[in-house]
């Protein structure tokens, strides 16, 4: 939190000097085997992770997976049933000790922004700041500049757009310089166009301010686009954590593969260094981390639409037929039902238009190792 010196002036950590003074890998938040039960139901189970200074980590998962409960435990709005949470090097929940939300060095941005309707933008941002009037005024000016709203200080929330309200809510949470900023589905109340714009803007603001942040969302595009790391949750457990490209390209479970992006799975069999599938036989070296010890094993191979290409052909040599198509602007995504009964998706340029029930051959065109899962 921001501190005041004897003159009443708020001492704000300078972003550049703050990073220079602290190690780039300094841990701000730690969760060690944290679980939460409501009665007999376990909603979060044995979650362990670390968040580094200046990092933006996003919990991603479907509704009911435990991600919001995890965020609430970090905030102090829920007490863990088991495990230890450490914030800024100090335990805030460890079974013997539970620090209340107002005593934790954490800011929160809620889904509905939670602005005070009777206060101006300036007054909303200043709410909760200590210090003399001049210091508070200077801090508010600084934050209005940071969120690109210097001319809106005297407006009431009702006079602002959704995106502007989000900027004010963010500025208010950043005002006391929390050790970590928590964002609960921060873009859910915005329309689709504004949501994309604000994702980029919020990331810019957080990085410019040098803030450590933990976000929660069910929107995979949002998580992949703004996060330094993504923590995918399922049924209360942490399925995988890593950089967005790692989690998307090398999912460690079929759930992660299915939840991130449009995924299809080819049933295959490994035999003599080859994979036999419903779209033909290919070299097992195309599989990520393939080892001959798996020869003879039935597997599921992850393929995404850009890994496959459909080609119209005669019915007697076709691999399957086109059963539906989705127009996505520059591209078509064709859903192909294979003769094996499996369904895959093929991505094509919008000028390549196939009719429904068109017999097609399907070729594997992936230029990267494929994720796979023994059955």
Q: Please, are residues 177 and 183 in contact by the beta-carbon 8 Å criterion?
A: no
Q: Domain of 325: which CATH number?
A: 2.40.50.140
pLDDT (average), residues 137-159: 94
295-319 pLDDT, tens digit per residue, is 888 999 999 999 999 999 999 999 9
Q: Check residue 289 and give left, alpha or beta (phi > 0: left; psi -120 to 50: alpha).
A: left
User: Which tokens belong to 186?
Assistant: 């921060």
Checking if the pLDDT of 261 tops 90, the result is no
Tokens standing for 8?
A: 């009443």
Same domain for 248 and 127: yes
Task: Give the pLDDT confidence of 86-141 residue by residue, as tens digits.
Answer: 999 999 999 899 999 999 999 998 887 889 999 999 999 999 888 888 999 999 99
- On whether both 126 and 269 belong to a single domain, the answer is no
Which of the four pLDDT bands, split at 50, 70 and 90, describes residue 24? low
pLDDT for position 17: 32
DSSP single-letter state for residue 292: G
Q: What is the pLDDT of residue 7?
A: 33
| Pair 190, 163: CB distance under 8 Å | yes
Q: What percent of the chain has pLDDT over 90?
A: 77
Q: Is 370 found in the same domain as 250?
A: no
Question: What's the pTM?
Answer: 0.86
Co-location of 239 and 134 in the same domain: yes
**Separation between Cα atoms, residue 298 and residue 372, nearest integer Å:** 10
* 156, 136: one domain: yes
Residues 185 and 281 in one domain: no
* 201, burial (CB in 10 Å: exposed 0-12, middle 13-18, buried 19+): middle
- Tell me the pLDDT band of 2, cut-offs 50, 70 and 90: very low
Domain end residue (candidates: 223, 256, 289): 256
Residue 322: DSSP 8-state: E
Structural domain range at position 299: 262-374
| 176 and 274 share one domain | no
Same domain as 266, residue 252: no
* pLDDT, tens digit, 9 for 90 and up, residues 316-363: 999 999 999 999 889 999 999 999 999 999 999 988 889 999 999 999
Residues 231 and 282 in one domain: no
349 Cβ contact list (under 8 Å, min separation 6): 330, 331, 332
- Percent of the chain at pLDDT > 70 equals 94
Give me the number of domains the chain comprises: 2
**Residues sharing a CB contact under 8 Å with residue 156, sequence separation 6 or more, in sequence order:** 117, 118, 119, 120, 121
- DSSP state for residue 12 in the 8-state scheme: P
Rg of the chain taking only CA atoms, in angstroms:
25
Residue 19 pLDDT greater than 80, yes or no: no
* Distance (Å, whole) CA 350 – CA 335: 15
Query: Looking at 235, 256, 277, which one is the last position of a domain?
Result: 256
């Amino acid at each position: 939190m921001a501190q005041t010196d004897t003159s009443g002036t708020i001492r704000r950590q300078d972003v550049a000097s703050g990073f220079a003074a602290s190690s780039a890998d300094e841990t701000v938040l730690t969760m060690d085997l944290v679980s939460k039960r409501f009665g007999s139901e376990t909603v979060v189970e044995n979650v362990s992770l670390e968040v580094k200074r200046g990092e933006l980590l996003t919990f991603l998962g479907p509704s009911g997976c435990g991600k919001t409960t995890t965020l609430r435990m970090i905030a102090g709005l829920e007490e863990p049933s088991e495990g230890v949470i450490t914030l800024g090097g100090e335990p805030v929940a460890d079974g013997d000790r539970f620090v209340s939300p107002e005593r934790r060095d954490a800011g929160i941005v809620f889904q509905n922004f939670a602005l005070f309707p009777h206060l101006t933008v300036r007054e909303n941002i200043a709410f909760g700041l200590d210090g003399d009037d001049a210091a508070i005024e200077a801090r508010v000016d600084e934050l209005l500049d940071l969120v690109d709203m210097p001319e809106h200080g005297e407006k009431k929330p009702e006079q602002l757009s959704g995106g502007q309200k989000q900027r004010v809510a963010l500025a208010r949470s950043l005002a006391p310089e929390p050790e970590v900023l928590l964002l609960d589905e921060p873009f859910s109340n915005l329309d689709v166009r504004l949501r994309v714009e604000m994702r980029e803007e919020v990331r810019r603001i957080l990085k410019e301010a040098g803030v450590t942040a933990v976000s929660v969302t069910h929107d995979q595009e949002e998580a992949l686009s703004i996060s330094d790391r993504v923590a995918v949750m399922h049924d209360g457990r942490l399925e995988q954590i890593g950089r967005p490209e790692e989690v998307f390209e090398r999912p460690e479970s079929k759930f992660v593969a299915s939840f991130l992006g449009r995924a299809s799975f080819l049933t295959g069999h490994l035999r003599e260094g080859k994979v036999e599938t419903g779209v033909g036989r290919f070299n097992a070296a195309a599989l990520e981390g393939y080892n001959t010890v798996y020869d003879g094993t039935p597997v599921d191979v992850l393929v995404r639409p850009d890994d496959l290409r459909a080609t119209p052909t005669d019915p007697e040599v076709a691999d399957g037929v086109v059963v539906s198509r989705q127009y996505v602007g520059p591209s078509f995504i064709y859903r192909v039902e294979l003769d094996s009964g499996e369904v895959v998706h093929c991505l094509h340029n919008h000028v390549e238009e196939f009719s429904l029930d068109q017999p097609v051959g399907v070729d594997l065109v992936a230029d990267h190792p494929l994720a796979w899962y023994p059955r």
